[in-house]
């Protein structure tokens, strides 16, 4: 039987917007090299591999170059595929066993809510000396978390118009990448961000769930609210509803299937 693969645009309802992810529900276990080769062939920011197991699914995520510990948009896409293809009933939660522990997803009408670990950001006095040069803008606030650096800039307009020096950014000791964020001027959302990760083969990720695990606690304290709407201002763009609760962050988004195929 051919192995099917589905491409889903996550954190959007519009095809060719949001963040595309490939989702492969495996017929049997595959080795790491094969999964990395498939991810490289798909050439998307993430390809997700699901394997049915007791009480849920094993879930792993690969960029075109490396396996990662956590990926929000490919988890959202995976849940979407499980419900759409009938692996789960709409009232059944999706349970994923991952490198980041047990993650769950609930179908809530047109939205999917992900239950992810919150990631605190430690404010630091400075960043690598060339980070500001690589981003091409002054940095208002600088923090560090498991994903890399999180920096606040002065305005939403700056976030929208950033054009980083990706070669320089890739050479810096910044972990996976850098989240750039600011308060929003738009009435439709409270905060705006972008995420750059050339060190792991992604110059700019269109919409990044794992970044919002960091943005949730960071902006909760500044906005003085546990819930807010975020916009990731990449060229494709996407909306993320964020809700903080203790050491968890609930990320809600929508998704649309754009392609189905077979690996031969």
Quote the pLDDT of residue 127.
87
Quote the pLDDT of residue 237.
96
What long-range pairs does 50-54 form, CB within 8 A, spacing at least 24?
50/23, 50/24, 50/25, 50/26, 50/78, 50/81, 50/82, 50/96, 51/25, 51/26, 52/25, 52/87, 53/97
Distance CA 171, CA 9 (A): 30
Q: What is the pTM of this model?
A: 0.93
- Same domain (yes/no): 63, 135: no
Domain with 137, as residue range(s), is: 122-245
- Same domain (yes/no): 93, 66: yes
CATH number at residue 106: 3.10.310.10
Residue 32: is its pLDDT beyond 90? yes
Q: What mean pLDDT is reported for the chain?
A: 95
Quote the pLDDT of residue 21.
98
- Average the pLDDT over 109-115 and give the result: 96
Quote the pLDDT of residue 200.
85
- Same domain (yes/no): 144, 82: no
- Same domain (yes/no): 101, 137: no
46 as an active site residue: the answer is yes
Residue 233: is its pLDDT beyond 90? yes
- Same domain (yes/no): 126, 108: no
Which residue matches tokens 């992604």? Answer: 202
Quote the pLDDT of residue 58.
98
Distance CA 30, CA 89 (A): 26
Q: How far is CA 186 from CA 24, 157, 242, 262, in A?
A: 37, 11, 17, 42
Q: How confident is the model at residue 179 (pLDDT cuts 50, 70, 90)?
A: very high
Residues 166-177 have pLDDT tens digits of 999 999 999 999
Quote the pLDDT of residue 259.
97
Q: How confident is the model at residue 220 (pLDDT cuts 50, 70, 90)?
A: very high
- Same domain (yes/no): 241, 255: no
Helices 72-84 and 209-223 sit at what angle, rounded to 10 degrees?
120
Residue 1: is its pLDDT beyond 90? no
SS3 call for 72: helix
Distance CA 246, CA 238 (A): 25
Residue 126: is its pLDDT beyond 90? no
- Same domain (yes/no): 126, 213: yes
- Same domain (yes/no): 137, 74: no
From the candidates 46, 152, 190, 204, give the one annotated as an active-site residue: 46
- Same domain (yes/no): 137, 106: no
- Same domain (yes/no): 103, 130: no
Residue 197: is its pLDDT beyond 80? yes
Residues 57-104 have pLDDT tens digits of 999 999 999 999 999 999 999 999 999 999 999 999 999 999 999 999
- Same domain (yes/no): 23, 95: yes
Number of domains the chain contains: 2
Number of H helices, E strands in the chain: 6, 18
CB 33 within 8 A of CB 67: no
Residues facing residue 10 across a β-bridge = 19, 255
Distance CA 193, CA 14 (A): 20
Residues 33-45 have pLDDT tens digits of 999 999 999 999 8
- Same domain (yes/no): 133, 86: no
Residue 201: is its pLDDT beyond 90? no
Distance CA 45, CA 205 (A): 7
């Amino acid at each position: 039987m051919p192995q099917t693969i589905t491409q889903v645009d996550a954190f959007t309802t519009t095809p060719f917007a949001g963040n595309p992810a490939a989702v492969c529900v495996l017929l049997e276990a595959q080795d790491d090299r094969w999964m990395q080769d498939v991810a490289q062939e798909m050439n998307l920011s993430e390809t997700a591999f699901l394997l049915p197991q007791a009480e849920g699914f094993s879930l792993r995520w690969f960029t075109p170059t490396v396996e990662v510990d956590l990926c929000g948009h490919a988890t959202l896409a995976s849940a979407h595929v499980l419900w759409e293809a009938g692996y789960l009933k709409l009232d059944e939660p999706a349970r994923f066993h991952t490198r980041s522990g047990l993650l769950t997803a609930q179908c809530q009408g047109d939205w999917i809510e992900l239950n992810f670990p919150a990631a605190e950001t430690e404010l630091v006095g400075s960043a690598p000396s060339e980070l500001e040069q690589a981003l091409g803008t002054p940095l208002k606030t600088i923090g560090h978390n498991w994903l890399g650096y999180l920096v606040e800039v002065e305005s939403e307009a700056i976030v929208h118009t950033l054009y980083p020096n990706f070669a320089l950014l890739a050479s810096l000791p910044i972990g996976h990448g850098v989240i750039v964020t600011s308060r929003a001027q738009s009435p439709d959302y409270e905060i705006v961000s972008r995420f750059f990760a050339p060190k792991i083969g992604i110059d700019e990720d269109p919409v990044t769930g794992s970044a919002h695990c960091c943005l949730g606690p960071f902006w909760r304290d500044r906005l003085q609210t546990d819930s807010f709407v975020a916009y990731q201002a990449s060229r494709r763009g996407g909306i993320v509803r964020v809700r903080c609760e203790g050491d968890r962050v609930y990320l809600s988004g929508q998704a649309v299937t754009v392609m189905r195929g077979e690996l031969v």
